[in-house]
Amino acid sequence: MRRLTRCLIVAAGTIAVGLALLAAPSSAASAEMYLGIRNLDCSGVTVGGSGLPASTELSVALLDSAHPREIERRSVATSASGTFTWRADVSLTGLRSVRAVVTRPGLATPVAWTEHVVPSACPLAYTGSGRVLPLVGFSLSSVALGFLLLTALSYRGRHLAFHRSGQLPVR
């Protein structure tokens, strides 16, 4: 009888531990923190997070990873489920990597951070003069040079009269 009681106690303990282990991954998975960067293009980036403290004010900073400088910072509030989404509409021209850092307001220690490296930097904005004015200037100068060359070459010898013999008169 003692043996049966011990086996039942061990079986009950094993079942209890098994049920506890089955319940633990689902609660741990919901507590897993995620921070991601998506929709990255030259005009901005979207930062999203989940598994963060519910209904909490957080500070999200967008940084240039190559040069330690801040591009944009915003205060966001997480939802009741601990998620947030923020679209930063900033120019990312010339950047190769972007980092998002989430901190609690007033604290320097990050709660989470993520970094995204793009295969090629956004093209630099063309800020020079328009291409029409140099083309018009080149065209007009080419026409003027052509007219001068044509005039100079066609005038040569026009003031001399030819005889019927085809020889030039001697003066």
Question: Which pLDDT tens digit goes with each residue over 84-132?
Answer: 999 999 888 878 888 999 998 888 888 888 998 877 777 766 666 677 8
DSSP 66-95: TTTEEEEEEEEE--TTS-EEEEE----BT-
> What is the model's pTM?
0.54
Cβ neighbours of 16 (radius 10 Å): 10
Mean pLDDT (whole number) for 32-57 = 89
For all residues of the chain together, what is the average pLDDT? 79
**129-139 residue pLDDT tens:** 677 888 888 89
Return the structure tokens found at 166: 């085809």
- Percent of the chain, pLDDT > 90? 26
Name the nearest CA neighbour of 27 among 36, 15, 19, 35.
19
For residue 26, what pLDDT band results from cuts at 50, 70 and 90? very low
